[in-house]
Amino acid sequence: MQRMLDVDTRGQGLYEVTGRIDTWLREIGAVEGLLTLLLRHTSASLLIQENADPEVQDDLKAFFERLVPPATDPSMAYLRHTYEGPDDMPAHIKAALLPVSLSVPVWDGRMRLGTWQGVYLFEHRTRPHRRQIAMHFA
Amino acid sequence: MQRMLDVDTRGQGLYEVTGRIDTWLREIGAVEGLLTLLLRHTSASLLIQENADPEVQDDLKAFFERLVPPATDPSMAYLRHTYEGPDDMPAHIKAALLPVSLSVPVWDGRMRLGTWQGVYLFEHRTRPHRRQIAMHFA
Amino acid sequence: MQRMLDVDTRGQGLYEVTGRIDTWLREIGAVEGLLTLLLRHTSASLLIQENADPEVQDDLKAFFERLVPPATDPSMAYLRHTYEGPDDMPAHIKAALLPVSLSVPVWDGRMRLGTWQGVYLFEHRTRPHRRQIAMHFA
């Protein structure tokens, strides 16, 4: 069973998709099996993270902005792939550091996530993008 | 086939679980298939790493302590999610940087790891925790 | 279905394996299913990244060289596992930061990658190595 999940983003940050994945699992009548998610882009990421306090998501975003600042930052002067904007090459680097695919066991029709875990798309680009997650259940 | 694996941790560091996973694969009579591991927490990680020299594990821990110091470190003053202790938000950041799920082909009843690879739970919190790994074999 | 893919590397950098994986999927007559890749080493990584502009790969390599410099760099003086050369422990650290396993849905006999995505082996050691990727399709 495969399906594409479109996610519209409006700037850098985390976008939760847990509910939409649960809905798809219900639609296909999934009971027990393995869910695989693959993000089909090289300037955004998938992430399983805490779903309780939104400040966690702000702090995550702030950490990665400091670890990989825009190409206009003096510390990034060594970058050569800069013609797609100052946020582009840092986005590729963050996409290397964070997951592009996730594997989640499903039991009783639900992802076996922990209590505080949600599934997110982490957008690294500044401008709005339409992103695609390939979902696979077997 | 699914099973929960509990791992008790006593502070930051790597805890090897290779042997316990092998035992489970034997118990269920696994021969050929795919093993999936999902850690059900957002302040610890899974990791496949070198199992020979324990200094590798110490150095890994030291690197990540420097890359993501405690919230009390002046360089981390921008963090806002700090009320669960100085090790909490850095733990979430490390959990973003390191794997939450792993996929391991199984052949002849054994994980197809390389000679020097072991499977570890990487604890990022200071206090003792009971952690759960969801194991799935199909 | 399982197969080992050997990759010969000649120093640090990205080596594309997309075409060789596609070839294997054709050979076994794969139509729809899940492809799993596991790198059987702790000093190299797998990576899905942009396949268009080679400068992206150079910049990725440059970023990780700066994030994790050789053990001879004064900032890395705390490392203890150094007897296998100044590139060895940094290679283990990069192998922790970047993927060791990847899961890719297959549809119509092809990996469901995005237009700009390729699959790479990211070598972190300086000297030539023969690397093995365990491929699994089901």
Q: How far apart are CA C97 and CA C103, in angstroms?
A: 17
- At B14 the three-state DSSP class reads strand
Q: Give the tens place of pLDDT for each residue, B95-131.
A: 999 999 999 999 999 999 999 999 999 999 999 999 9
**Per-residue confidence at B30, pLDDT binned at 50, 70, 90?**
very high
* Strand residue runs (E) in chain C: 2-9, 13-16, 33-39, 44-50, 101-107, 110-111, 117-123, 129-137
A60 touches chain B (CB under 8 A): yes
C90 secondary structure, DSSP code: H
Using an 8 Å CB-CB cutoff, list chain B residues near C136. 34, 105, 112
Q: Residue B95 corresponds to which tokens in the numbers above?
A: 């959990």
**Chain A residue at shortest CA distance from C34:** A136
CB contact under 8 A, A47 and B89: no
pLDDT bin (cut points 50, 70, 90) of residue C91 is very high
pLDDT at B138: 97
Determine the pLDDT at residue C106: 98
Chain C residues with CB under 8 Å of B53 CB are 81
Average pLDDT over residues A22-49: 98
Q: Do C34 and A138 touch (CB under 8 A)?
A: yes
Nearest Cα to Cα of residue C99 among B45, B116, A33, B69: B45
pLDDT at C114: 97
Chain C closest-CA separation from residue A26 CA (Å): 20
Closest-CA residue of B relative to A101 is: B101
From the CA of B27, how many Å to the nearest CA of chain C?
A: 22
- Nearest-CA neighbor of B105 among B20, B41, B25? B25
Q: Which two tokens stand for residue A88?
A: 């582009």
The minimal CB distance from B97 to the residues A50, A97, A103 is found for: A97
**Average of pLDDT values for A13-18?**
97
Q: What letter would DSSP give residue B124?
A: -
**pLDDT score, position C80:** 97
pTM (2 decimals)?
0.97
Residue C89 CA: distances (Å) to CA of A4, A101, B123, C9: 40, 26, 20, 18
Task: Please state the rounded mean pLDDT for residues B48-75.
Answer: 96
- Other C-beta atoms closer than 10 Å to the C-beta of C100 total 26
CA-based nearest residue in chain C for residue A36: C103
The pLDDT score that the predictor gives to residue A8 is 98
* Angle at alpha carbon of residue B123, lines to A61 and B33, rounded to 5°: 95
**Chain A residues within an 8 Å CB radius of B81:** 53, 55-56, 58-59
Angstrom distance (rounded) from CA B32 to CA A122: 34
**Residue B6, pLDDT score:** 98
Average pLDDT of chain A, as a whole number = 97
- Mean of the pLDDT values across residues B56-85? 97
Q: Is the CB of A93 less than 8 angstroms away from the CB of C60?
A: yes
Contact partners of B by the rule of 3+ C-beta pairs under 8 A? A, C
Give the pLDDT band of residue A115 (cuts 50, 70, 90): very high
pLDDT reported for residue A109:
95
Digit-coded pLDDT (tens) for B74-83: 999 999 999 9
Decide: A11 and A126 in contact? Cβ < 8 Å.
yes
What is the average pLDDT across C45-59?
Answer: 95
* Residues A118/A10, Cβ–Cβ less than 8 Å: no
Identify whether the C-beta of residue B128 lies closer than 8 Å to the C-beta of residue B34.
no
Give this complex's ipTM.
0.97
Is-contact B13 B28, C-beta < 8 A? Answer: no
| Mean pLDDT of the region A98-116 | 97
pLDDT for residue C74:
98
What percentage of residues in chain B have a pLDDT greater than 90? 99
- Test A92 with C60 for CB contact under 8 angstroms: yes
- Which amino acid belongs to residue B38? L
Q: Determine the pLDDT at residue A12.
A: 97
Q: Name the average pLDDT for chain B.
A: 97
Asked if B41 lies within 8 A of A104 by C-beta distance, the reply is no
Largest separation between any pair of C-alpha atoms in chain C: 52
Task: Output the pLDDT for position B18.
Answer: 98
Q: What is the pLDDT of residue B40?
A: 98
Interface of A with B in 95-114 (CB under 8 A): 97-99, 102-105, 107, 112-114
Q: What is the pLDDT of residue A80?
A: 97
